[in-house]
Amino acid sequence: MSENKPLQNPMNAVNPRRWAALAVVLVASFMDAVDVTVVNMALPSIEREVGASTSELQWITGGYALAFALGLITGGRLGDLFGRRRIFLLGMAGFTLTSLICGVSHSPELLLGGRVAQGAMAALMVPQVLSLIHVTFPERERGKVFGIYGAVMALGTVTGPLIGALIVEGDLMGWGWRPIFLVNIPLGVAGLLAGALVISESKAERAARLDIVGVVLAAAGLLALVLPLTQGRELGWPAWTYVSMAASAPLLALFVAWERRLTRRGGSPLVVLSLFSRRSFAGGQGVQLMFGLASGVFFLAWTLYLQLGLGWSPLRAGLSGLPLSAAMMAGAGVSMQVLVPRFGRVVLQAGALLATAGMLLYLYLAQHYGAGIAPWQAIVPLIPVGLGMGLIVAPLTDLILSEVPHEHAGSASGLTNTTIQLGQAVGVALSSVAFFGRLGHGGPAEQAQRMPHAFADSLWYVAGVFAAAFVLLFAVPRLAGRKPGGAGEQRRPEEHQERVPVS
């Protein structure tokens, strides 16, 4: 995440190439948004074709999120230091290459390695997009451009599962799930060629130095937690898994101590710890973490439940998610424009309770009807879940940043985006206990029989996480009567970086 530093703009404010440059960076943003979710509907096919284990399936989804989250911390600063155009094109080239590796993989090890590398390359590419928009467009046009950017990101996250389902169901040229990755290659090559021609270089005048020690300590602490959670059940929980999880706490404590020491010495810490002294910021980050945890557990278990437990096709499963996406977009729209300005924080808390109720309804129906659940019964609970998630996610970043000082707005916004990605990675890892632990071992037929009840049991965790988010929201300011974007008075539009996880 880049510091809030002045930007150099070598381009004329009316540069005729600015819209072409926007098209390039929006294609890159769309590719990333789709790739976060597109793989979900292909997981059963990947499991059958390459023989991936349950832990490897978790790494294929969670590894991308973890690498993306850890890379976001430094990706923006690399652009400030070495040039945003240069780092953007490097990230896009790497994203294209790793997509090829994923698409031609014939072993789960190569596929999950490609996915982790793909997440790392996205972390180089994505943070440059908003900065490039800022230095390319005059101030009078930025509001419209940021609106277009937000719409493209929302479209990518919402349509990702459906795109994945269509590709897998269509079995293009007999390649099965592989085109979900291979489609990035022509887009990436075209983006690289066009980007080299139409994007101009820019750097920050006073870019912060990289906190390499902080990056290593944060990565080590998180990996020490995620690795045993993901692998432990499949290996029978050997002693090293407990040692590793126990070691994650002192490693993360050491990270905090280092960040404090670096701050006292006048350095540029990875995380501005003083931000957490504000209840609104600390509570809001907790809600972001809960949101990521819930998404990580639910969407992985839900995808496998529909296809392997109920026997639905990938396309049918993908279409069943549309009511959730539509409800989420509706909730987000009414939350930002109508409800939050009038009622403030209580709207987000109502969203948390709606999502909790939807999960409990789904739990009841899955337990009561088992594999005989009707299609409408498997879809109806998603509507309150989607509405609730939309009521929370749209205004949350604005509320989190409402009390953040101007000089730390960039760091706070970047950390908010990182938190939800980390939550998703940890949530996917926790599915070993919440979902796969209930599923147990055995052949496909045995697991399919146990799938509905394992899915229902996982919803206890998800409902509990949304309930915890309800409690944490008491730390967020009430903010009733404030216009949408009021917190934005303390930061520039380009510092507002938010991803909406839908799947």
Per-residue pLDDT reduced to its tens digit, 274-287: 888 888 888 888 99
- Listing DSSP states for 230-295 in one string gives HHHHHHT--HHHHHHHHHHHHHHHHHHHHHHHHHHTT---SS-GGGGGSHHHHHHHHHHHHHHHHH
Per-residue exposure over 231-255, b if at least 16 CB sit within 10 Å of its own CB, e if not: bbbeeeeeeebeebbebbeebbeeb
Q: Express each pLDDT in 360-411 by its tens digit.
A: 999 999 988 888 889 899 999 999 999 999 888 877 877 777 677 766 665 6
Phi-psi region of 135 (alpha: psi -120 to 50; beta: other; left: phi over 0): alpha
Phi, psi of 204 (to 5 degrees): -75, 145
More confident residue, 457 or 492: 457
For residue 247, pLDDT over 90 is answered with yes
Residue 225 dihedral angles phi and psi, to the nearest 5°: -90, -45
One-letter amino acid for residue 91 of the chain = G
Q: What share of the chain has pLDDT > 70, as a percent?
A: 87
Q: Residue 199 above 70 pLDDT?
A: yes
pLDDT of residue 185: 93
More confident site: 466 or 39: 466
Confidence of residue 103 (pLDDT cuts 50, 70, 90): very high
Q: 7 - beta bridge partners?
A: 204
Closest Cα partner for 85 from 25, 146, 7?
A: 25
Tokens coding 158: 């919402």
Task: Give me the pLDDT at residue 96, please.
Answer: 95
Q: What is the pLDDT, as a whole number, of residue 395?
A: 79
pLDDT tens sequence across 426-460: 888 888 888 887 776 666 667 777 888 889 999 99
Cα atoms in the Cβ-side hemisphere of radius 13 Å centred on 497: 31
pLDDT at residue 359 above 70? yes
> Is residue 349's pLDDT more than 90?
yes
φ, ψ for residue 7 (rounded to 5)? -110, 145
Residues in Cβ contact with 145 at an 8 Å cutoff, skipping those fewer than 6 apart: 22, 133, 137
pTM to 2 decimal places: 0.79
CB 197 within 8 A of CB 23: no
> pLDDT above 90 covers what percent of the chain?
24
Does residue 4 carry a pLDDT above 50?
Answer: no
| Higher-confidence position of 181 and 414 | 181
Instruction: List, for residues 149-195, the tens digit of each pLDDT value.
Output: 767 777 777 778 888 888 888 777 778 889 999 989 999 999 999 98
Give the position of tokens 């504000």: 278
In the predicted structure, residue 10 carries a pLDDT above the cut 70: no
The predicted model gives 309-316 an average pLDDT of: 87
Look-up of token digits 């080299």: 196
Mean pLDDT for the stretch of residues 88-96: 94
Q: Is the distance from CB of 484 to CB of 134 less than 8 angstroms?
A: no
Which residues, at least 6 apart from 186, have a Cβ–Cβ distance to it below 8 Å? Answer: none
pLDDT of residue 499: 39
- The yes-or-no verdict on residue 492 having pLDDT over 50 is no
Count each helix (H run) and each strand (E run) in the chain, helices first. 20, 0
Distance from the Cα of residue 120 to its chain's centroid: 13
What are the backbone dihedrals phi and psi of residue 373, each rounded to the nearest 5 degrees, phi first?
Answer: -60, 135
What tokens appear for 323 in the block? Answer: 């009511």
Q: Where do the H-state alpha helices sit in 440-477?
A: 444-472
Q: For residue 11, what pLDDT band results from cuts at 50, 70 and 90?
A: very low
pLDDT tens, residue by residue, 26-61: 888 888 888 877 888 888 888 888 888 888 888 888
β-pair partners for 204: 7
